[in-house]
Amino acid sequence: MDAKKVILAVDDSPENLDLLKSLLTPAYTVKAAINGAMALKIVEKSLPDAILLDVRMPGMDGFDVLRKLRQHDDTSRVPVVFVTGEEDESTRAMAAELGAVGVLVKPVDPDALNDTLAACLS
Tens-place pLDDT, residues 93-108: 999 999 999 999 999 9
Percentage of the chain with pLDDT > 90?
A: 93
Domain assignments of the chain as residue spans, ordered by start: 6-121
| Exposure string over 72-92, b if 16+ CB within 10 A, otherwise e | eeebeebbbbbbbeeeeeebb
Residue 1 pLDDT > 80: no
CA angle 74, 69, 53 (to 5 degrees): 125
CATH fold, domain 6-121, is Rossmann fold (3.40.50)
48 alpha-carbon distance from chain centroid: 10
Please answer whether residues 34 and 14 qualify as being in contact, where contact means their C-beta atoms are separated by less than 8 angstroms: yes
Distance CA 22, CA 19 (A): 5
> How confident is the model over 43-57, as a mean pLDDT?
97
What is the pLDDT confidence band of residue 2, given thresholds at 50, 70 and 90? low
Residue 21 pLDDT > 60: yes
